[in-house]
């Protein structure tokens, strides 16, 4: 355990000396180690191609590492950069319910979970709305509601604001912060936008596949602005 975390909460996400290369490609992640304490909201920063999405996919088990250890405690939810790659059903309510098909729930339990999850992201009025009629920010909130309905304890978000305008961007990050805090969810949010750093408890900086820095968001922001 790192010194910074020695007296804090146990990590919900823990990565040790993680290495990953694409077949026949160069090494994308070079011995990365990081920990996200339970219930905290951390961000992962880095320029395009630095390996952020690869790291998130490894955490989600969508890719296998070449070496190293990954431990994620609890039910995991994943939010992709482009919600059109994630939302599969015709309406808001049906999409959130779709994520529950593997759980043995009654019709009434599914309804309750869907309503609670939509209320958590302020979309309860849009349960019957077709997905195509939503804004980008609303689609991202439906994707997040899907994870909340499954009672996720760890939420991984890969540049969820990349396709949003600046107002919706900061609305989304503020809403996700208050949501994960009120539910003690551990979140790792990938971004390259420095103004989002104001909302996190801590941040990691990835540079060409190496974890170049981690810790206090204000300090990291200063470092990045000085580049
Ligand atoms: N499916 C893939 N096959 C081969 N190389 C890939 C694939 N996806 C990403 N890469 C490469 O891996 C590196 C890291 O990419 P990525 O993790 O997507 O970076 P980031 O999310 O930080 O922009 C880049 O050099 C990228 O070209
Ligand atoms: Mg990416």
Q: What ligand is nearest to the CA atom of residue 58?
A: 1
Q: Which domain holds residue 58?
A: 1-74+154-160+186-227
Distance 158 CA to ligand 2 centre (A): 7
**How far apart are the CA of 221 and the centre of ligand 2, in A?**
20
Give the number of whichever ligand sits closest to the CA of residue 20.
Answer: 1
CA atoms lying within 13 Å on the CB side of residue 188: 29
- Name the packing angle between helices 166-182 and 136-149 (round to 10°): 10
In a domain, 214, yes or no: yes
Residue 176 resides in a domain: no
The tens digit of pLDDT for each residue in 81-135 reads 999 999 999 999 999 999 999 999 999 999 999 999 999 999 999 999 999 999 9
Q: Is residue 169 domain-resident?
A: no
Name the closest-CA residue to atom 11, ligand 1.
Answer: 49
On whether residue 18 sits in a domain, the answer given is: yes
Please give the DSSP secondary-structure letter assigned to residue 130. B
The DSSP-derived string for 98-127 is HTTTTS---HHHHHHHHHHHHHHTT-GGGT
Q: What is the mean pLDDT of the chain?
A: 93
| pLDDT tens-digit series, residues 34-67 | 999 999 999 999 989 999 999 999 999 999 999 9
Asked whether residue 222 is domain-assigned, the answer is yes
What sign for the dihedral angle of Cα 84, 80, 86, 61?
Answer: positive
| pTM score | 0.93
**How far is residue 120's CA from residue 152's CA, in Å, rounded to a whole number?**
13
Longest dimension (CA), the chain: 55
Does 217 fall in a domain?
A: yes
> Is residue 104 assigned to a domain?
no
Residue of minimum CA distance from atom 17 in ligand 1: 51
Say what the pLDDT of residue 7 is.
Answer: 66
| Number of domains observed in the structure of the chain | 1
What is the position in ligand 1's atom list of the atom closest to the CA of 23? 4
Residue 60's CATH number: 3.40.50.300
Taking the CA of residue 190 as reference, the ligand 1 atom at the shortest distance is 21
Pairwise pLDDT comparison (224 vs 137), residue with the higher score: 137
8 inside domain: yes
Pick the residue whose CA is nearest to atom 5 on ligand 1.
22
| Ligand 1 neighbours by CB, cut-off 6 Å | 22, 25, 28, 46, 48-54
């Amino acid at each position: 355990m790192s010194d910074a975390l020695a007296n804090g909460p146990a990590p919900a996400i823990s990565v040790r000396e993680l290495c990953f290369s694409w077949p026949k490609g160069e090494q994308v992640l070079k011995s990365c180690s990081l920990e996200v304490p339970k219930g905290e909201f951390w961000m992962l920063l880095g320029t395009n191609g630095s390996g952020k999405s690869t790291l998130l996919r490894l955490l989600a088990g969508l890719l296998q590492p070449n070496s190293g250890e990954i431990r994620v405690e609890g039910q995991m939810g994943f939010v992709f950069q482009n919600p059109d790659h994630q939302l599969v059903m015709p309406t808001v309510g049906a999409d959130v319910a779709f994520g529950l098909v593997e759980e043995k729930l009654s019709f009434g339990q599914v309804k309750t979970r869907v309503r609670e999850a939509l209320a958590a992201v302020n979309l309860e009025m849009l349960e019957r709305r077709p997905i195509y009629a939503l804004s980008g920010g609303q689609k991202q909130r439906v994707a997040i509601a899907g994870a909340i309905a499954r009672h996720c304890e760890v939420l991984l978000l890969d540049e969820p604001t990349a396709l949003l305008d600046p107002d919706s961007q900061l609305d989304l990050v503020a809403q996700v912060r208050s949501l994960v805090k009120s539910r003690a969810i551990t979140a790792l949010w990938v971004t390259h936008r420095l103004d989002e750093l104001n909302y996190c408890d801590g941040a990691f900086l990835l540079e060409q596949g190496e974890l170049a820095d981690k810790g206090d968001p204000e300090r990291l922001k200063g470092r990045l602005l000085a580049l």
